[in-house]
Structure 1
Amino acid sequence: TEQSCHCLRLDVEDAAGGRLGVANTGFFGIGLRQGQKYNLSLYVRGEGVFNGPLSVRLEDSDGKPLSDAAEIQGIDAVWKQFKATLTASATESKARLVILAGAEGTVWLDFVSLFPETTWKGRPNGLRPDIAQMIADLKPGFVRFPGGCVVEGGTVETAYNWKRTVGPVETRQECWGPWNYRFTHGMGLHEYFQFCEDLGAEPLWVGFCGQTCIFRQMENVPMEEMGWVRDNFLDVVEYANGPTDSKWGSLRAQAGRPRPFNLKYVEIGNENAEKAYEERYRFIYDAMKAKYPDLVYLADLSYYRMPSELYQIADRHYYNNPAWFLNRFNEYDNRDRSQAPLYLGEVAVTSQDGGPIRGNLLAALAEGAFLMGCERNADAVQMVSYAPLLAHVDGRTWDWHGMIYHDGTRVFGTVSYYLWKLFGLNRPSYTVATDVKVEATKPAAIAGAIGVGTWNTSAEFKDIRVEKDGKVLYASDFTQGAADWTQDGGRWSIQDGVYRQSAHTVGLSYFGDETWSDYTLTLKARKISGPEGFLVVFGRKDQTKFWWNLGGWGNTQHAIELNQSPVGRTVRGRIETDRWYDVKVELAGNRIRCCLDGALIHDATAPATEHFYATAGRDEANGDLVIKAINTAAEPVAARLTLQGLDSVKPKATVTVLTSEDLSDNNSLDEPHRVVPTENTIDAADDEFPYRFPARSLTVLRIRTK
Structure 2
Amino acid sequence: MLYVSALSLLVIASGPLLGHAQTIVAVNGTASHPIPKTLWGLMYEDISHSGDGGLYGERLQNRAFQQVAPGTTQALNSWSAIGGALIEVVADTIPLSSALPNSLQVLIPEGAGEVGVENSGYYGIEVNPAWTYNASFFYRFPSILPSGSIAANISLVGAESRTTFAASSVTLNPTADWTQVTTSLTPNSSASDINNTFTVTLDGAAFSGVVNFGLFSLFPPAWMGQENGMREDIAQALFELKPSFFRFPGGNNLEGESIATRWQWNATIGPLVNRPGRVGDWGYVNTDGLGIYEYLIWIELMGMQPIMAVWSGYALGGASVPEADLAPYIEQARQQIEFVVGNTSTPGGALRASLGHSKPFILNYVEIGNEARFTCDFISAAPSTYRSYRWASFVDALQNEYPSIRFIATTRYNNPVLAPKPKSYDLHVYQTPTWFRQNGGYYDSVTRDGTTFFEGEYATTSTNSSNLYGIPEQGRLIYPTVQASVSEAVFMMGFERNSDIVFAASYAPLLGHVTEHQWTPNLLSFDSEQVIKSTSYWVQQMFSANKGDWYLPSTLANTAGTLFWSVVKQDTPLAFILKISNAGTATASLVFELPSAVASSGTLIQLQGSATDSNTPDNPNLIVPVTSTIAAKQNLTFTAPALSLSVITVPLA
Q: Secondary structure at the match of 2:159?
A: coil
2:506 alignment partner AA: S
**Number of the residue aligned with 2:209:** 105
**How much has 1:696 moved relative to structure 2?**
0.7
**How much has 1:20 moved relative to structure 2?**
2.4
C-alpha separation between the residues in 1 aligned to 2:557 and 2:170? 73
**How much has 1:437 moved relative to structure 2?**
6.4
**Number of the residue aligned with 1:422:** 542
Contact 1:41 1:114 in 2 (8 A): yes
Which of 196, 201, 226 is the matching residue for 1:95? 196
**Number of the residue aligned with 1:524:** none
Contact 2:564 2:581 in 1 (8 A): yes
Q: Residues 18 and 412 from structure 1, CA distance in 2 versus in 1: closer, same or farther, beyond 3 angstroms?
A: same
Q: Residues 225 and 8 from structure 1, CA distance in 2 versus in 1: closer, same or farther, beyond 3 angstroms?
A: farther
Q: Secondary structure at the match of 1:127?
A: coil
**Number of the residue aligned with 1:411:** 531
Q: Establish whether residue 364 from structure 1 lines up as the match of residue 460 from structure 2.
A: no
Q: Establish whether residue 702 from structure 1 lines up as the match of residue 649 from structure 2.
A: yes
C-alpha separation between the residues in 2 aligned to 1:332 and 1:277? 24
Q: Residues 48 and 13 from structure 1, CA distance in 2 versus in 1: closer, same or farther, beyond 3 angstroms?
A: same
C-alpha separation between the residues in 2 aligned to 1:417 and 1:179? 23
Q: Secondary structure at the match of 1:218?
A: coil
Contact 2:569 2:576 in 1 (8 A): yes
Q: Residues 65 and 245 from structure 1, CA distance in 2 versus in 1: closer, same or farther, beyond 3 angstroms?
A: same
C-alpha separation between the residues in 2 aligned to 1:437 and 1:280? 42
1:634 alignment partner AA: T
**Number of the residue aligned with 2:502:** 381
Q: Secondary structure at the match of 2:604?
A: strand
**How much has 1:653 moved relative to structure 2?**
1.4
C-alpha separation between the residues in 2 aligned to 1:281 and 1:3? 32
Between the two proteins, the alignment pairs up a number of residues equal to: 527
**Number of the residue aligned with 2:9:** none
Which of 555, 558, 562 is the matching residue for 1:435? 555
Which of 398, 406, 413 is the matching residue for 1:296? 406
Q: Which has the larger radius of gyration?
A: 1
Contact 1:323 1:609 in 2 (8 A): no
**Number of the residue aligned with 2:469:** none
Q: Establish whether residue 6 from structure 1 lines up as the match of residue 109 from structure 2.
A: no
Which of 329, 337, 354 is the matching residue for 1:254? 354
C-alpha separation between the residues in 2 aligned to 1:388 and 1:50? 50
Which of 436, 439, 442 is the matching residue for 1:325? 436
C-alpha separation between the residues in 2 aligned to 1:640 and 1:375? 21
**Number of the residue aligned with 1:690:** 637
Q: Residue by residue, what CA displacement relative to the aligned partner does 1:339-374 show, whole Å, maximum 9, x if unpaired?
A: 611111111111124323221111111110000011
Contact 2:602 2:649 in 1 (8 A): yes
C-alpha separation between the residues in 2 aligned to 1:259 and 1:146? 22
Q: Residue by residue, what CA displacement relative to the aligned partner does 1:391-442 show, whole Å, maximum 9, x if unpaired?
A: 11121111x311111111111210000000000011121211211567xxxx
Q: Secondary structure at the match of 1:314?
A: strand
Contact 1:160 1:208 in 2 (8 A): yes
1:169 alignment partner AA: L
Q: Residues 334 and 95 from structure 1, CA distance in 2 versus in 1: closer, same or farther, beyond 3 angstroms?
A: same
Which of 582, 606, 611 is the matching residue for 2:562? 611
Contact 1:650 1:686 in 2 (8 A): yes
Unaligned stretches of 5+ residues in structure 1: 439-607
Relative CO higher for 1 or 2, CA cutoff 8 Å, sep ≥ 6?
2
Q: Residues 422 and 308 from structure 1, CA distance in 2 versus in 1: closer, same or farther, beyond 3 angstroms?
A: farther
Q: Residues 259 and 436 from structure 1, CA distance in 2 versus in 1: closer, same or farther, beyond 3 angstroms?
A: closer
Contact 1:282 1:310 in 2 (8 A): no
> TM (normalized to structure 1)?
0.72
Contact 1:351 1:401 in 2 (8 A): no
**Number of the residue aligned with 1:393:** 514
Q: Secondary structure at the match of 2:537?
A: helix
1:393 alignment partner AA: V
Contact 1:50 1:107 in 2 (8 A): no
**Number of the residue aligned with 2:156:** 58
**How much has 1:224 moved relative to structure 2?**
3.1
**Number of the residue aligned with 1:162:** 265
Which of 650, 664, 672 is the matching residue for 2:612? 664
Q: Residues 663 and 352 from structure 1, CA distance in 2 versus in 1: closer, same or farther, beyond 3 angstroms?
A: same
C-alpha separation between the residues in 1 aligned to 2:630 and 2:151? 69
C-alpha separation between the residues in 2 aligned to 1:259 and 1:333? 40
**How much has 1:636 moved relative to structure 2?**
0.7
**How much has 1:209 moved relative to structure 2?**
0.6
**Number of the residue aligned with 2:296:** 193
Contact 1:167 1:251 in 2 (8 A): no
Q: Where does 1:473-492 land on structure 2 (aligned, <5 Å)?
A: none
Contact 2:423 2:450 in 1 (8 A): no
2:175 alignment partner AA: D
**How much has 1:79 moved relative to structure 2?**
0.9
Q: Where does 1:39-78 land on structure 2 (aligned, <5 Å)?
A: 39-51=134-146, 52-62=150-160, 63-78=162-177
**Number of the residue aligned with 1:115:** 219
C-alpha separation between the residues in 1 aligned to 2:394 and 2:443? 30
Q: Secondary structure at the match of 2:198?
A: strand
C-alpha separation between the residues in 2 aligned to 1:9 and 1:181? 23
**How much has 1:310 moved relative to structure 2?**
4.1
**Number of the residue aligned with 1:29:** 124
Contact 1:652 1:703 in 2 (8 A): yes
Which of 462, 468, 480 is the matching residue for 1:351? 462
C-alpha separation between the residues in 2 aligned to 1:247 and 1:281? 26
**How much has 1:18 moved relative to structure 2?**
3.8
C-alpha separation between the residues in 2 aligned to 1:26 and 1:689? 54
1:211 alignment partner AA: Y
With 608-617 and 200-209 compared, the bigger mean Cα shift is at 608-617
Which of 218, 227, 232 is the matching residue for 2:332? 232
Q: Secondary structure at the match of 1:66?
A: strand
Q: Where does 1:204-223 land on structure 2 (aligned, <5 Å)?
A: 204-213=307-316, 217-223=317-323
2:582 alignment partner AA: N
**How much has 1:88 moved relative to structure 2?**
2.2
Q: Residues 231 and 128 from structure 1, CA distance in 2 versus in 1: closer, same or farther, beyond 3 angstroms?
A: same
Q: Secondary structure at the match of 1:356?
A: coil
**How much has 1:243 moved relative to structure 2?**
2.0
Contact 2:105 2:210 in 1 (8 A): yes
**How much has 1:308 moved relative to structure 2?**
5.8
Q: Secondary structure at the match of 2:506?
A: strand
With 23-32 and 404-413 compared, the bigger mean Cα shift is at 23-32
Q: Where does 1:625-640 land on structure 2 (aligned, <5 Å)?
A: 625-640=576-591
**How much has 1:609 moved relative to structure 2?**
3.6
C-alpha separation between the residues in 2 aligned to 1:680 and 1:35? 34
With 263-272 and 428-437 compared, the bigger mean Cα shift is at 428-437
Q: Secondary structure at the match of 1:7?
A: strand
CA RMSD of aligned residues (A): 1.8
Q: Secondary structure at the match of 1:194?
A: helix
**Number of the residue aligned with 1:148:** 251
Contact 2:366 2:408 in 1 (8 A): yes
Unaligned stretches of 5+ residues in structure 2: 1-96, 377-383, 465-473
Contact 2:248 2:307 in 1 (8 A): yes
**How much has 1:702 moved relative to structure 2?**
1.0
2:143 alignment partner AA: G
1:108 alignment partner AA: N
> TM (normalized to structure 2)?
0.78
Contact 2:151 2:169 in 1 (8 A): no
**How much has 1:703 moved relative to structure 2?**
1.4
